[in-house]
C-alpha cells in the first residue's frame, strides 16, 4: 500500500479521554506522526471555538471538521487558490480560515427543535436551553470550556428526559429533511451534513496537494460511521464501558482496539504504522 498518510480523528472518547479530555496516552503516537509529517485532521462534534483550543494544545496546524461535518475550517494558505476553486464548493473567509460550510445555520436547527418540542409536548433539551454552568455539569468540562461548547454554529446537542419519545422526534426530524445522530454523550440535530461528506471533500483536496493517499479514520460512536466509511483504514476505538457501537455495516478491514480512548487511539496508530511498514519492506 503506497501513498502519504492522512488521519481523520474523532475527539471525545477517541483522541481525548471521554471523562478527563486528556490526550496524554496518545502523545507518543502523536510525536511519531509529527516526525513523519502526517496531517492529523480533527473531525468532531465540537465547535470551532473548542477545536481551535484543542488543536493548539496538541500542536496541530491542519484543517479541521466541526459540528458533525457542519463546516471545514482550513488555515489560510494551506491549499492553493486553484485547489480550493476546483473543490466544487463555495469557500468563505472567517478570520484566519477559509471555510466550506456544509450545515444549516444553528438558529434554524433551534427553531425546528423548539417548535417541535412545543407542538408534541416533548421533554427534550439542547445546549441552547442551558447556561454554561449546566453544560459544564453535563459534560464534565470546565466553565471556560463549556462557554466554548455553547458557541454552536451548525449542530445542536440534545437529550431526552423521556426516551420513549425519541422515535416520534426522529420521525419529525426526517420529515423536515434534517438528521438526528447519536454521539458518545448526546444526540445531535444537524442539517444534511455528516462527517463523511466533509472527509470526502478534504481527501480530494489532499490528493491535489500530496498525490496518492492512504486515509485513516478513528472514532468510537455512531456519528463517526460516515467518516469510517470514507477512509481506507478505519479504526473503531473501544468504549470505556465495554458497550459495542451499533455500526450498521462493519468494514472487513476495520481495526477494533482493545483499549479505550487515547490509549486505544495510540494502539490503532501503532498497529497501522507497523503493518504498512512491513508491507512496504522488500
pLDDT of residue 1: 46
What pLDDT score does 277 carry? 75
Q: Do 245 and 239 contact (CB within 8 A), yes or no? A: yes
Mention every residue, 6+ apart, whose C-beta is less than 8 A from residue 238: 220, 256, 257, 258, 259, 260, 264
Cα–Cα distance for residue pair 126/103, rounded to 1 Å = 17
HSE-CB at 68 with a 13 A cutoff on CA atoms is: 30
**Domain 106-190 maps to which CATH number in 3.30.980.20, 3.40.50.300, 3.30.750.24, 3.40.50.1010?**
3.30.980.20
Contact (Cβ atoms closer than 8 angstroms) between residue 103 and residue 152: no
pLDDT tens per residue, range 18-33? 999 999 999 999 999 9
Show which residues are catalytic. Answer: 10
> Is the predicted pLDDT of residue 179 greater than 80, yes or no?
yes
CA angle 116, 191, 237 (to 5 degrees): 110
User: Matching CATH topology for 4-103+194-280 and 106-190?
Assistant: no
pLDDT tens, residue by residue, 146-167: 999 999 999 999 999 999 999 9
Reported as a single tens digit per residue, the pLDDT across 53-102 is: 999 999 999 999 999 999 999 999 999 999 999 999 999 999 999 999 99
* Residue 110 and residue 128 in contact, taking contact as beta carbons nearer than 8 Å: yes
Place of cell 455495516: 249
Task: Supply the pLDDT for residue 250.
Answer: 67
Burial of residue 58, with CB atoms counted within 10 A of its CB: 0-12 exposed, 13-18 middle, 19 or more buried: middle
Pick 4-103+194-280's CATH classification: 3.40.50.1000, 3.40.50.720, 3.30.110.30, 3.40.50.620.
Answer: 3.40.50.1000
Q: What are phi and psi of 145, to 5 degrees?
A: -70, -35
pTM of the model: 0.94
- Show me where the domains of the chain are located: 4-103+194-280, 106-190
Rounded to 5 degrees, what are φ and ψ at 112? -65, -45
Amino acid at each position: 500500500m503506497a501513498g502519504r498518510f492522512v488521519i481523520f480523528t474523532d475527539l471525545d472518547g477517541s483522541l481525548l479521554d471521554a471523562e478527563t479530555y486528556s490526550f496524554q496516552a496518545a502523545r507518543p503516537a502523536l510525536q511519531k506522526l509529527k516526525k513523519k509529517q502526517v496531517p492529523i485532521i480533527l473531525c468532531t462534534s465540537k465547535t470551532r471555538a473548542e477545536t481551535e483550543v484543542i488543536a493548539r494544545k496538541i500542536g496541530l496546524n491542519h484543517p479541521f471538521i466541526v459540528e458533525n461535518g457542519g463546516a471545514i475550517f482550513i488555515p489560510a494558505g494551506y491549499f492553493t487558490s486553484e485547489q480550493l476553486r476546483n473543490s466544487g464548493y463555495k469557500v468563505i473567509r472567517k478570520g484566519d480560515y477559509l471555510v466550506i460550510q456544509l450545515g444549516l445555520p444553528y438558529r434554524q436547527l433551534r427553531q425546528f427543535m423548539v417548535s417541535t418540542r412545543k407542538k408534541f409536548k416533548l421533554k427534550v433539551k439542547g445546549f441552547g436551553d442551558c447556561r454554561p454552568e449546566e453544560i459544564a455539569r453535563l459534560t464534565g468540562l470546565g466553565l471556560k470550556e463549556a462557554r466554548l461548547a455553547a458557541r454552536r454554529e451548525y449542530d445542536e446537542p440534545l437529550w431526552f428526559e423521556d426516551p420513549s419519545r425519541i422515535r416520534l422526534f426522529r420521525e419529525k426530524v426526517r420529515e423536515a429533511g434534517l438528521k438526528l445522530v447519536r454521539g458518545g454523550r448526546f444526540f445531535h440535530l444537524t442539517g444534511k451534513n455528516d462527517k463523511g461528506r466533509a472527509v470526502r471533500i478534504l481527501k480530494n483536496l489532499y490528493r491535489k496537494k500530496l498525490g496518492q493517499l492512504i486515509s485513516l479514520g478513528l472514532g468510537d460512536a455512531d456519528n463517526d460511521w460516515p467518516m469510517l466509511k470514507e477512509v481506507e483504514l478505519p479504526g473503531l476505538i473501544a468504549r470505556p464501558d465495554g458497550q459495542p457501537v451499533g455500526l450498521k455495516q462493519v468494514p472487513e478491514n476495520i481495526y477494533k482496539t482493545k483499549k479505550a480512548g487515547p490509549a486505544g487511539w495510540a494502539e490503532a496508530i501503532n498497529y497501522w504504522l507497523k503493518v504498512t511498514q512491513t508491507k512496504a519492506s522488500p
